[in-house]
Structure formats: structure tokens, C-alpha cells
Amino acid sequence: MLSLSSFVQRAQQLLDPTQGLNLSDSDKNPSKASLFQNQFRLPSSQHPLYEISAELTIPPSNVTQGDKDRDRGYHYAGKLHLSEAYLCFSTTPSSFLQSASTSTSSAFTGQTHGGGPGGNGFTFPLCAIRRVERLHSQNFQFALAITTWNGINQESVKDKKENAREQRITIQLAGPRVSCERFCDGLKKGLRAGVGNVGKLKKVVAECYSEYLLRPEDKKNASPPDAGLGMLFRYPGDPKKLRDRAKMRLWAEYLRDNGRNMTLIRQPTFHKLIRVGLPNRLRGEMWELTSGSIYLRLENPTLYADTLAKFSGRESLAIDEIEKDLNRSLPEYPGFQSEDGIGRLRRVLTAYSWVDAEVGYCQAMNIVVAALLIYMSEAQAFFLLSALCDRLVPGYYSTTMYGTLLDQKVFESLVEKTMPILWEHLVRSDVQLSVVSLPWFLSLYINSMPLVFAFRVLDVFFVEGPKVLFQVGLAILRINGEELLDATDDGAFISVLKSYFARLDESAHPKSENPKLRAVTRFQELMVVAFKEFSGVTQSSITELRLKNKDAVLNNIESFAKRTAIRNLARDSKLLSPEELGALYDRFYGVLYERQQRDHILKEQAKRAKTNRPRVPDAPDHDDHIERGRVGLGPSTSLMDYDAFREFLAGMSKWAISDSPTTPRRDTFTDKDRNSFYNSFRKSDAFLSPWGAGPEPADHEFLQRLFRNWDVDSSSALTLQNVVSGLARIKGKRDIMGTINYFFELHDDDGDGKVDREGILRMSEALLFLSRRGLEGSLSPSNSTLTLNGMTDSMNNSSLANDVPGQSVNERFLGSVSAFIRRCFEYADPDHPRNQPPAASATTATTTATQAQEQGETAEQPVPTSDDLLQLASPDAFAIGDDDDDDDDDEEEDGDGGDDDDDLLTMDSPTGTPRRAAKSSGETSSPGQPPPLIQLTNYSIPPSTIDGESTDRRRVSKAQSVKANAALDPSNPLHITLPTFRMVVLADELLEQFFESSFPASFHVIEALGSSSSASPTTASSSLTTFSSLGMGAGRAVGAALGGGGAGSGVSAPGGAPAAGGRGLRGVLDNIVTDGMRVAAEVRRRMEDAQKELEKNALPGQRSGNDEDDEEDDEDVPGFEHASEPGGAGTGKGAAYRRAVSSSDRDLLSGADAEASDANSIGRVRGSSDAGSMGDGNGNGNGNGNGGAAKVVGVEFDG
Amino acid sequence: MADSVPKPSSSVKLVLLGEAAVGKSSLVLRFVNNDFQENKEPTIGAAFLTQKCNLPTRTIKFEIWDTAGQERFASLAPMYYRNAQAALVVYDLTKPTSLIKAKHWVAELQRQASPGIVIALVGNKLDLTSDSTGTAEDDGESSAAADSGDSGDARKVSTEEAKTYAEEESLLFFETSAKTGHNVREVFTAIANAIPETSLKSARGPGAGAGGVGAGRNNEEQQRVNLGGPRDPNAKEGCAC
């Protein structure tokens, strides 16, 4: 997690250098825009576009004429702000200019003296402005007269006359003429755009009770707007005691003078009126206005109804949870014993759970919403709830409730700071404060205090913000301080407070002689203490404390979540150690988190690039959810898609790291999207690559298989459980049989216990894929093909368990794999024994096969092959680099290649005489050529170069190959069963070891996979290269000639055509280097070609078979050369069989020294021109697809 | 109850855990006030109540932390089960998922709570099952509970299943109805009996010793209560509340 957070920090710095810290909500993330939105309670669509110092003049009201003070009107100096759709004035001198420092913009977070963040002033939607006139004034001052749509819903002119003159205020702009002009231009534009919204405004305003309140008496018979359940079931509290009527009169007067709802102007009286408690019927509207939720409603007036309609009839977990609580939300209020009240509650909570699915439903929301519904309509409550969740108490109701926990920590620090004695007492008596205070905050005191008082707290809370919750909490503790000091356990502590809350309405000074003092209730006392004594608790001090405690809280939550998640895993997780599970959990969520971060940043970048509004220099709105995805912050995805899975594996297993990071990936479209941004980011920071700072994961058929296998629900996404279960099967039991079975099952697509020819090849491809960076242990993170120098030596070092000096396990493993394929085919069961292919070739194959068998029996094939390899390979040998670096290497490689080739040959092409053809074919073959006709020819041609010693072996292998080839015949379906597979695996020591240890061990769950920097590049490249060079060598030599089975890798392409088989091998290797899919396609294509070829040449095939025999006999036959040449020329004749390859390899071997170092020398070997570039000392041609990559390598290397 | 001699008294912190709406608060309300409310407000955070329980040899004062059940409140739970000596993990007999959740809680407690915490697994809402009909009337005198089949109308969790699990994990086990009060006091009594003497913080030394309730005997008792709980008509007499 540490690395994650540093990652986030970097990202944030990149986005906005002024911010080092962030929470997920704008409240704690003081970007200018969010500060602005916060101050004026505006929706997140609004940005500060222009601002200018100004003086606001409110004319004396007609109602209060005669009052001398008011005759002069009111003047306020402050700042005028313009956003996209709002014109705001505030006496709080904050600035959101781009150049303004953050502290200026957050000035409002200081003490507000009851003014709330908005201070005195107004927040007019532009659509509520009817007219703006420029006034002629002395001194050439810039003055605007603004007329609003105040009372827009009054039906008749008469009403208007009677009721009020229109609301008209003047504003003098102070500033250079230019800025005034600019401001006015902006205003003009905004006004024009706002005209269309007047309709909306009318609709929204119609739901405000003030409209009804201010109607002339004779119009009052119309039904008033919905002011909550209280209108039907009475409002809580005794209206007389609350002096509701008096308050209503005061408010009516204020609204008449200063505008109502949208056009209300905040003056000091406004704030005073709120402090004494809102009258019942206006409470909803004022809450809506002061919290700013009315602007959300204005933005999308039908959202509530639309949401309900859209999701009507749908079900969700949240809805189940809501249903459970409907009957128990403020059950003592009569409105919630009725269907009407419960119905409203249900609808509001449900609608919100749809709109904000991340929050869904949290207990306590039911209580809060129930309280809101007493005073406001459903739609109003809906928007207010969303203002609460998003801005006022962010994170309180999230799935992890991090906001709640965080604010508890903040509260505790405040107590510690302001009441050190009490704090010490709490610590000493081991009372945990939050067990007491948490419900206060979570339910906004609604279920702690009697409702009437809780609503008074809410009145202030909505104007002045979350700090009010803290102030009130502190005041409660302060007032009860002495009694609390006597309490020594949770129980006593709680009962003190319980009884306090029960007596809030009593006199605070019952024994006082002063009647005035006696009249002061405990609640009033509470409010005074809260706002006077704790006036130092400000938004900014809270913000600061939140930032300070954030990490600790999130870490706590995360460790809890982790513990829970791990514990809740199914039984099979027990197969892994707790440490492994912990590490897996971290890796799993780490990958998801990082991906989300990247995604977010990339999106932001895109947005920025796209919008790039010149008018909004600092608009980018990255404030929200910058940390989305962090477990502690709530719902983050817990599903891993295929790409994430690859990334996840790449963090654990070196084989899952792509070999060619630069290769454009073509897997998902999202990547494409990313790629388009990718370039622009690159310069600034590498971690913005689609894969972040980590290595690019490989994409291989095996990964897809694994993913599908683990994805037991076929949901195309893995849960942690899936991943754990999946890994438990591989790593858990540590028993070879289990692993073997698993591997088999992985390739048994239809689960019938059989793996067909195709599957066998897949298996071997997978084996090669898994082993290409070495079998185990050593780190080979380097994913760049560029670092290919001096591989030879390092390679040996790197490969673990290097038994045979000079030859790495990895190399031997190639042999094992090739033997594996051969054996698989050898022991495969025919699907339909009777159904023997009529094709001539097939017959040939069979015949040869028989011969082969005989021979084969004498010599044990599989092991010998590997032995052969060993022998052949010179100790230092393996040129690990790409194609050939050193001559020696080349030689060895060739040798190995040759052997492998033999194996391959054996397997693939019936005709194949492994090595002999090699040289010639190598020369002749041009990469990428289809195998066709020529193959036959080649067959007949005796191999040009042969190593005498190997003849026998070759024979054997040939025989085997023949036999295997029979098996490969596509028209002769076959399969292996699990027992066969097991047997084949166990027959080879290396394979056995692979399944016993190295495969399970290749998942480095706990230890870190070495970073690319730490591992020596050569190591990686070397092991990689080994294979690839082998493959390539063979491939290249074979080139177009599919037949060139000589490739070191025994992996044959799908059965049918031998030549194709050779291809397949190459393909595998290519895969490693480049792109698996393409190769696969290629392989397949070739296979088909080859098969066609076979069919076509059925008869000749036979002949060729004979020829082959001949070849075998005399390996030295020169004729071969000639044959191969044409192939090489690019005739596309299948000429190059693997033998061809092998022979070419041989040649290389002999000539290797000379050729090796410079590419030029290669020229000799390869007939084709391109070969030049690719050609390495080894003379290995690149196979089909990989040619490109190999080429690059070769060139670089040479260079 | 009838003891004139002051018995040693000690307080025990007990926490209730379980899925939302399984009846945790109702169990407490029944135990503390012998009351039942059809629509009990959901607990926000946690509620705190106390109740005494008189055992023959001592008095136990339960400090009950009744926690909120909704999943997302789970991360608050450690705050409440901190230092708890006993826990009631409640599930709803009519909701199989609630038993799974209960198992999670048990695991959490076993790993994270104070060692030696006494845990009781309680299946609530027995009144909704058919085998409760007999018991509902005479409030606690269960005649049919023991051989409760799965024939109950709403019962979805068999007694056998939960009991087996409880035995595996050495938990006390009860099926209760907060609505009828069936078995509720028995649960608390059994817990009181199962609390090891040594973990009682304010137990008066000599008194406790004289009480002679050794750990071994406790275990026996616990065992007895555990197995016989649902049937034991005498269980309630231990509790003076």
C-alpha cells in the first residue's frame, strides 16, 4: 500500500502541483473550483470564471419605510463571482482566481461568525436574473442594476403590484475598466445561456413554501406546496412553545424585503433568524437553500421522478436493506406509522440508492431522511440527501463509513485539544469516546436529542457546514464535563449523556434569581457554548485534522477489510498460508487500485485535453474521487478483468511479463484509448503507461486459459475468492499429481478427460511459455529485447539448478518439451481407430511409422533426445541472446537447435530427417513462405550436411518422427487422457520437476518479483533468448519452409502437416517475443496449407516418404542442398523441412565462428536477402511471425 | 434473588453481533426490560444497556453493547467488542445467510477479540417457526424445541446444523424468540455461568473463592446448559431479572 500511496501522490502532483493531499471529497480537497462550489453551495458543474471586487447596494425596502436606518439601504463590500450559471456575491473576501493562493480561496473556512461560508450576499442562478442594466454613475464607475425574477410565479400584474415591487439591487464593480468589461461580457454570455432555464426555475420554485407564504391573502385558498409530512401529521414540538407564528411573521417580512428562495439575499438578519430556529413550514425550503441542494434540483428538476420511473420494479441489495428499516425509522412520529410516510421514505431512499449506487443505503440514512421528510417534499429530501452524502458529511454513509470513522478521530483530537483534563480521564478509564459520539455524527443528532432540538442543530448545520456537528459535540462534553469526570466506564459515561439529552428543554439555571437566566434552556445554553466557546473550531481546522488522521483511519479500515476478506474465503484458501493469502490480497487489490488510478488520471487528461476551455483556466475538476478505488474509501471494484489479471500475474510470475513492451498491444479497446493519450503523457511520466510503472504483462493463450479456469462463474471477472481458489490448486497442495492433473484439466476444454491434438500442442506451447524465462527462482524481469548483450555467461548463472555445466536447465527443458510432444502423440489414443485416413500421405506415414517404431524401440527416444541435446550443446553454449551473438553460442545453439529440430522433426514431419537438410534448406528458405509443394521435394532430397555421429540418433528420431507424424495427421483424430499425460510427464525428469516444483513456485505470491532494474538485463534476456534464439534459428532457417521443424523448440504446430508443426514451434517462440495471437493464426493457416498440401500430394507423398528413408540412410546427399535452395529463394516450396533447418544449423555450427559476430557473415547461410538482417551467426532464420522481432534484435545486436 | 447475604458481584462486557434485523436489539430489550417492540429502530453505531443477572453464587452485571447489524457497520465492530468478555452472535432462524454472517463473526471474535471470550450462538425468531407454537404460549417452557424438525413454516436453518457448528467451535447454543421471550434469559444465564471466574474484574476475592465455582465446574455447567439449554426448564431460575 505504501507504494500505492506514493503513486497517488505523484499522480496528484502531476495534476495539480498545489495539492499534495487529497480526500475523495471536495471538502477536503481545496481545488479552487471545489472551494468555490463549497462556499456558495453550488453544484459541481460550476467553476469560478470571473471575479471582481464590488459593492452591493440593497435599496431600502418599501415595507419598512420610515425606518431611518433602512432608508439608506444596505451596503456590503465583497466579491462578485461569476460561474457558468450563477452570479454570487459574498462579503467573505475569498478569491478563486487562478493566481490567488489557496489560502485566499479558503479564507471562508475561517471563522464565519454565524455568516456561514456564504457570508452575506446572494447566490443567483443566472436564469433568475431578469434584467441587468448598466447605470450611469459619477466617476465613471461601473455600476450594474440587477432585476430578478423574484416572485416569478405570481399570476397577475395585480398581485405584483399589491405584493411587492420587483427586486432590484445595484452593484458597483471596483476594478480596472478592462476587468469590469470582461466581467460584464461574461455575465452577458451567461445570461443569454440562462434564458432557457427560466421554465425550470418556475417549476422548482413552485415547490417552495415561500411562494405560497408571500401570496396575497386572497390567493391563499390554493393548496400550499408540500412542506413535508408535518403538514399532515403535525410537526414535532409544541408550536406555541416554539413560537412558530412569530418566527413565520419575521420570515415573511424578511423574504418580502430580501427576496425568496432563489433570489434571496443573505443579510445578517437571515443568519440570526436561522439561529433561533426555523419555523416549521419554511424549514424544508431553508434547508434546501442553505445546503445548496435546491441548486441541484434546479439543475435537474425531474431527476427524482425519472429515477423512480427508470428503476421501477427493479430490485437490489440496497432495497432489501431499506425494506428492513422502513418500519423502524422515527417510528414514534405518527407520519411514519402511516403508509403515506413510509411510502415516501421508501421512495426517497430507493431513488438515492440507484443514483448513488456506491453508497446505496446505510442505516442512519433512514433516520436522517425520515427527519427531512417531516419538513420537505420527497424530491427536496432526495436532493438534500445527495448534498449531505456528497458534500456535508462525505464518506459517512459509504460502505466503509470512512468518513464517520475519520470524523470520530477528528472529534477525539478536538476533545484532547480543548478539554485535556476530560480527555485524560477518558484515557485513564479506558472509555472510548467514539462509542458515545459516533451516533451523534452519523445521525446528525437526530436520534440522540429530542427531535425539536436536533432540528435546531440541523438548521445551523445546513448553513454553516459540518463544523457545527463538532461544535455541538464539544459543547455537550464541556457542559457535562464534571459529571463525566466522575464516570469511570462506558456505561456511566453514556448514562450521564442520556439523561442530559432528556432534559435539554429544562432551564439551564433553575436556581438563578435572574428570571432571564432562569428562562434559558439547556439547549440554548448548548448552542451558546457551541458557537461561542468553540468558535475556534472552523472548517479549516477540521479539514486539517481530517487530513492528518486520514491515513491512519484508512489503514485501519483496510486492515479490517483485509482480515475479513481473507477470513471469509472458502475452505480451499486454507491450502495457502496466511502470509500467502495476505500477500495475495494485497496484490489483488493493489492491481485493481492502481488500474483505477491510472484510469482516472487518463480520463482526466482526456477530459482536459478535450474541453480545454480557454475561459476556465483552472477548471479541471480532478478534485473528486482522486483516490477512488482505495479499499478504505468504500466501494471499489473487487472484480478483476482479464487485463487486470494479466497485470496481477505479471507482478508475481516472470513468465507473465511481456517480452516486448514496445509492441503495440491489441487486446482491448480500452487500451487503445489509453494509447492515444499514452504518447502525450509519456514525456511527463512513465507511470502513465497503460501498465503503470510495472512491466507490461504478456498475453498468451495460457493466460487466457488460466483466467477462464479461475473464472468459475464465467463472469469474465475474477473475485479474490476465484484467485485464491485458483492459486490454491496450483500452489496449495504441492503435490505433483495435483499439479499435473490441474495442468491437464486446464487444457481439457470440454472437460471430457481428453485432450486432442490441438490441446497437446497448446500444452507444449504453454510449457514453453512458462519456461521461457527460466524455470524458477532467478529474476528475469527485464522485458526489453534490446538488452541482449553478452548473454552467454550470465545465462548459465541465471538459470537455476544448472546441473549440466554449460547447459542450462532451460535448454534442457526445451528438449523435454519436444520430447513431450512426441510422446504425447506416440501414446495418444486414436479417437476413431477404424477411421484411418485414406490419404496417401497418411499411409506413408504409417508405414514409416512402423519402421520407425522398430528402430525406436531400440533406442529410447525421449530421454536420448535430451541427452543428445546435451551432448551437442557446448558447455558455454547457449547463445542466449537473440539470434546469435557469439559464434560459439551459435554453434551450440545450432546444435541444440538441431537436436530439438530432430525431435520436432520427428514429431512433426513424417518425412523429416532432422538435421541433414538443414544447411541447404536454411539457405534457401525465406521466412514466411508457405510450405507447399516443395516440401515433398525436400523430402526426397537427402540431407546435405550431416553429423556423422548423430546419424543413428537421427534415425531413431526419424523413426519416431514418422510415427509421430502419423499421429499428427489431421485426418486421424486422436487424444490423450490424463493417465497418458501423467505418464508422459513423469517419463521426463525435467518435466516432472517442472510440475513438482517449478510451476507452483513460479507464482511468487509473497516475495517481490525482482524489479527490472535489479536483475541483470542479461539474465533475463539470456534465458529468454535461449529459447527464442533456438526457435528463431530454426525458424529462420526453415523460413518459409514450414517443414523446418528443426527449430529447437519441440513445439509443433497443430498436427496435420509436419511442416506446419515446425511452424508451430516457431510460433510458440514468436509468441514469446511478439504476439501470440498473430502467430497462432499464422500457425493455423500454415497448418491448413500444409494439410491441403498433403492431401494434394498424397501420392507423391508416398514417394517422398521413401525418399526420406533414403535421406536417412545417406545423410550427406548433396542433392538436398539444391532442393533447399529453391525453397530459400522464396519459392515458397515447403522445401525447408526441419531437417533443412537442422542442417542449416549444422552449417552454422561449422561456420559459426566466422559468421557469428557479424551479421554479414550470415549472409552466406541464408540465401534470401532479408535473411541478412535477421540472420545471425547462428544462421537461424526467423520463423514466420517473429521474423520482425528477431530482425530487430539481430540488427541491434549486430550494430 | 432470595439471598440475603451479599453475593460477589462483577460486571461483564457483552457484545451482540449479527446480521441486520436478526433481532439483536430485541433480544436485549427482552432481557433488559422484558419488553418487545415490533418496529425497533435500527441501531446506529451501537446501543448500550445494562442488566444484572443473579447466579446462585454471584451477581453478574451485564454491560451490553448492542451493535448495528448492517454490513458496512462491521468495521466499527472492533470498537465495541474490544475488551468484551462475552459475545452473543445472533442469526435469524428464517434466514440462512444470517448464519453465514454469524459464522464470520465467530471467526472474527475468535481471532480478534480478547482471548477466552465466551461466545454464544443464538438463533432468534423461533416464534416464526412451527416448533415454537407450543413454546410461545408458556413463554420459555419449551416442549418441542429439542426435536425441532425443519418442518417449521419459516425455519430455514435446522437446529442440527447450527448446533453442530456450535459444538465444533465450542460455542454456547440457543434458539430463542425475543418476541415471546423464549430462552432469552437462559442465554444470558448460561453466559454468566460460563464466564471464567478469573476474568471477572471486580469480583470480590474471598467471596468469589467461596463461591466455589471453579473453572472446571463452569465448564461442566456450560456443557450442560449448552446441550440441555433449549429444554432446561430450570435455566431461568438462575436469573433474577
Report the phi/psi class of residue A307: left, alpha or beta, with left for phi > 0 and alpha for psi in -120 to 50: alpha
ipTM over 0.85: no
- Report how far apart, in Å, the C-alpha atoms of A593 and of each of A630, A724, A857 are: 6, 18, 58
How far from chain centre, in Å, is Cα B211? 23
Task: Judge whether residue A326 has pLDDT over 60.
Answer: yes
Which of B37, B39, B41 is the closest to A447 by Cβ?
B41
3-state DSSP assignment of residue A159: helix
Give the integer Cα–Cα distance in Å for A971 and A967. Answer: 9
- Per-residue pLDDT reduced to its tens digit, A635-681: 566 788 888 888 888 877 777 777 665 444 434 333 334 343 334 33
**pLDDT, tens digit, 9 for 90 and up, residues A89-113:** 988 767 676 555 555 554 444 444 5
- Are the Cβ atoms of B39 and A491 closer than 8 angstroms? no
Q: Which residues on chain A are in Cβ contact (under 8 Å) with B42?
A: 324-325, 328-329, 363-364, 366-367
Q: CB A432 to CB B82 under 8 A?
A: yes
Q: Say if the Cβ atoms of B112 and A563 lie within 8 Å.
A: yes
Q: What pLDDT, on a 0 to 100 scale, did the predictor assign at position A1017?
A: 36
Specify whether the CB–CB gap between A882 and A1028 falls below 8 A: yes
Q: Is the pLDDT of residue B193 over 80?
A: yes
Q: What share of chain B is helix, strand, coil (3-state, %, to 5)?
A: 40, 20, 40
What does the pLDDT average to over A859-878?
39
In this prediction, residue A714 carries a pLDDT of 80
Window from A47-56, A583-592, A749-758 with minimum mean pLDDT: A749-758
Q: Specify the pLDDT at position A716.
A: 81
The contacts of residue A48 (CB under 8 Å, 6+ apart) are A32, A33, A36, A81, A82, A83, A96, A97
CA–CA min distance B45, chain A (Å): 6
Segment A503-522, tens digit of pLDDT: 998 888 888 888 888 889 99
Contact with chain B for residue A401, Cβ under 8 A: yes
Q: Are B20 and A363 within 8 A, CB to CB?
A: yes
Q: Across the interface, do B21 and A331 touch by the CB < 8 Å criterion?
A: no
* Residues of A (357-396) whose Cβ lies below 8 Å from B: 362-364, 366-367
The distance of A452 to chain B (nearest Cα, Å) reads 18
CA pair distance A759, A765, nearest whole angstrom: 9
Query: Cβ separation of B75 and A490 shorter than 8 Å?
Result: no
Out of B44, B48, B112, closest to residue A367 by CB: B44
Q: Which of A327, A401, A563 sits opposite B76 (nearest CB)?
A: A401
Distance from CA of B217 to the nearest CA of A (A): 30
Which residue's C-alpha cell is 509421430? A964
How far apart CA A164 and CA A172 sit, in angstroms, is 24
Q: Helix (H, G, I), strand (E, B), or coil: what is residue B60?
A: strand
- Closest listed residue to residue A1050, CA positions, set A1162, A1159, A901, A946: A901
User: How near does any CA of chain B get to the CA of A374, in Å?
Assistant: 17
Phi-psi region for residue B43, left (φ > 0), alpha (ψ -120 to 50) or beta? beta
Which pairing describes strands A168-174 and A142-148: parallel, antiparallel, or unpaired? Answer: antiparallel
Q: Rounded to an integer, what distance in angstroms lies between the CA atom of residue A776 and that of residue A793?
A: 18
Buried b (16+ CB within 10 A) or exposed e, A150-161: bbbbbeeeebee
Instruction: Write out the H or E segment, with its range, that includes residue A1141.
Output: helix A1138-1157
Take residue A762 and report the three cell numbers written for it: 497448446
* Of the ranges A25-29, A299-303, A489-493, the best mean pLDDT one: A299-303
Average pLDDT over residues B124-153: 56
pTM of the predicted model, to two decimals?
0.67
**pLDDT tens per residue, range A424-483:** 999 998 888 988 899 999 999 998 899 999 999 999 999 988 999 999 999 999 999 999
Smallest Cβ distance to A363: which of B39, B42, B108?
B42
Which cell numbers in the block locate residue A939?
523430402
**Spatial CA neighbour of A107 closest among A51, A58, A46:** A51
Q: Which grid cell is A76?
A: 456590503
Q: For residues A383 and A1068, which has the higher predicted lDDT (pLDDT)?
A: A383
Question: Within a 10 A sphere around the Cβ of B5, how many other Cβ atoms?
Answer: 5
Q: B22: which 3 cell numbers? A: 436478526
| A746 or A691, higher pLDDT | A746
CB contact under 8 A, B20 and A321: yes
**Chain A residues near residue B48 by CB distance under 8 angstroms:** 435, 490-491, 494
User: Could B72 and A400 be called an inter-chain contact, meaning their C-beta atoms sit closer than 8 Å?
Assistant: yes
Q: What is the pLDDT of residue A307?
A: 95
Range scoring the smallest mean pLDDT among A396-405, A539-548, A1111-1120:
A1111-1120
Closest residue on chain B to A333 (Cα): B41
Q: Calculate mean pLDDT across residues A270-284.
A: 91
CA-based torsion, A1018, A1021, A1026, A1032: positive or negative: negative
Is residue A548 less than 8 Å (CB to CB) from chain B?
no
Contact between A564 and B72 using a beta-carbon 8 Å cutoff: no
pLDDT digits (tens, 9 = 90+) for A802-861: 344 445 666 677 777 777 877 777 777 776 554 444 444 444 444 444 444 444 444 433
Give the residue from A244, A163, A691 showing the smallest Cα distance to A455. Answer: A244
pLDDT number for residue A294: 94
- The CA-atom distances, in angstroms, between B239 and each of A1133, B56, B213, B229 are 97, 9, 16, 14
Residue A878 pLDDT: 37
Chain B hits for A491, CB-CB cut-off 8 Å, are 48, 50, 63
Residue in B with minimal Cα distance to A324 = B21
Our CA-based measurement puts residue A401 at a distance from the nearest CA of chain B, in whole angstroms, of 7
Please tell me the distance from the alpha carbon of residue A1041 to that of residue A1166, in angstroms, as a whole number: 13
Q: Which residue has the higher pLDDT, B14 or B226?
A: B14
B39/A443 CB distance under 8 A: no
Q: What is the mean pLDDT of residues A908-922?
A: 39
Q: Does A657 touch chain B (CB under 8 A)?
A: no
pLDDT at B175: 95
CB-CB neighbors (< 8 A) of B108 in chain A: 563-564, 567
Residue A82 confidence (pLDDT) above 80: yes
Question: Of A809-813, A1092-1096, A1120-1124, A1140-1144, which one has max mean pLDDT?
Answer: A809-813
**What mean pLDDT do residues A249-253 have?**
91
**A490: nearest CB among B37, B48, B73:** B48
**pLDDT at res. A887:** 41
Tell me the pLDDT band of B231, cut-offs 50, 70 and 90: very low
How many pairs of residues across A and B have Cβ atoms under 8 Å apart?
97
Residue A991: pLDDT above 60?
A: yes
Rounded mean pLDDT, A520-546: 90
**Residues in chain B whose beta carbon is closer than 8 A to a beta carbon of chain A?**
11, 20-21, 37-46, 48, 50, 63, 65, 68-76, 78-80, 82-83, 104, 107-108, 111-112
Q: Where does A909-972 have alpha helices with state H?
A: 918-924, 934-940, 950-968
DSSP β-ladder status, A121-125 and A142-148:
unpaired
Nearest Cβ partner for B46 among A367, A435, A447:
A435
Q: A50-58 and A168-174 as β-strands: parallel, antiparallel, unpaired?
A: antiparallel
Residue B180 β-bridge partners:
none
Chain B contact present for A349, CB below 8 A: no
Residues from chain A contacting residue B106 (CB–CB below 8 Å): none
Predicted pLDDT of residue A165:
60
Per residue in A882-911, pLDDT (tens digit) is 333 344 444 444 444 334 333 433 333 343
Q: In which residue are the cell numbers 466617476 written?
A: A139
| B70–A560 C-beta distance less than 8 A | no
* Whole-number Å distance between alpha carbons of A375 and A1083: 72
Summarised one tens digit per residue, pLDDT across range A681-715 is 333 344 445 666 667 777 777 888 888 888 887 88
Q: Is some CB atom of chain B closer than 8 A to the CB atom of A578?
A: no
Model confidence at A258, in pLDDT bands (50, 70, 90)? confident
Contacting residues for B238 by C-beta, under 8 A, at least 6 apart? B53, B54, B55, B56, B189, B192, B193
Residue A405 sits at the chain B interface (C-beta within 8 Å): yes
Q: Average pLDDT, whole number, for chain A?
A: 68
CA distance A292 to chain B (A): 27
> Which SS3 state, helix, strand or coil, does residue A123 take?
strand
Q: Do B75 and A362 touch (CB under 8 A)?
A: no
Q: What size, in residues, is chain B?
A: 241
Unique residue bearing C-alpha cell 459543547: A475
Binary contact (A401, B108; C-beta < 8 A): no
Q: What is the DSSP letter of A689?
A: S
State the smallest CA–CA distance between residue B133 and chain A in angstroms. 25
Does A435 sit within 8 Å of B65, measured CB to CB? yes
